[in-house]
A = this chain, B = another copy of it.
């Protein structure tokens, strides 16, 4: 038996995207967004209401970064989702974050978060709030890289957002291999 919930904004897993920008004076900001994902090859898409300081900044600078919130920074990640820089101009510093300007775009890399997607603005739809960013570079702390030099989920612990119970969850164990496990059914 299935239960119907009607139209709801539920999907698993949702990311916890920490979007960071500079304002016109170079003051860094950050916010937390769960509505988004990959838009296309080397492009990210995120739903962001136009009232956010983040959106105002992006429309001025044409750039932003997106860091994955991780297990060690749940409080800071949640804080930047609760408080608006429209009211708390130093929320970035209050979160305990430190910024270094991206080598590639006019936006901050948050030093505390070990993986960052660096983007330029492709488009922003004011009606829906849907923003598309071009991924210009991805950078990651060497501490989260495996022996193969790539991001390694045994060293990096991004979190996910459960919109049903408003919880943050880590990712768990590896349970399969993509483009591989399904081959077992090919000749059945």
Q: Does A121 contact B (CB under 8 A)?
A: no
Query: Nearest chain B CB to A142's CB is how many angstroms away?
Result: 5
Contact B39 A7 (CB under 8 A): no
Query: Nearest chain B CB to A184's CB is how many angstroms away?
Result: 6
Q: State how many copies of this chain the complex holds.
A: 2
Q: Does A85 contact B (CB under 8 A)?
A: no
When A10-B151, A11-B117 are in contact, do A173 and B169 touch as well, CB less than 8 Å?
Answer: yes
Interface string of A144-188 (1 = CB under 8 A from B): 010001111100101111101111111111111111111111101
When A11-B44, A172-B170 are in contact, do A75 and B184 touch as well, CB less than 8 Å?
Answer: yes
Total interface residues on A, CB under 8 Å, equals: 97
Query: Nearest chain B CB to A12's CB is how many angstroms away?
Result: 4
Q: Does A129 contact B (CB under 8 A)?
A: yes
Q: Does A68 contact B (CB under 8 A)?
A: yes
Which of B12, B41, B188 sits near A115, CB closer than 8 Å?
Answer: B12
Q: A residues within 8 Å of B by Cβ? A: 1-15, 34-45, 47, 66, 68, 71, 74-83, 94-96, 103, 109, 115-117, 128-130, 134-142, 145, 149-153, 156, 158-162, 164-186, 188
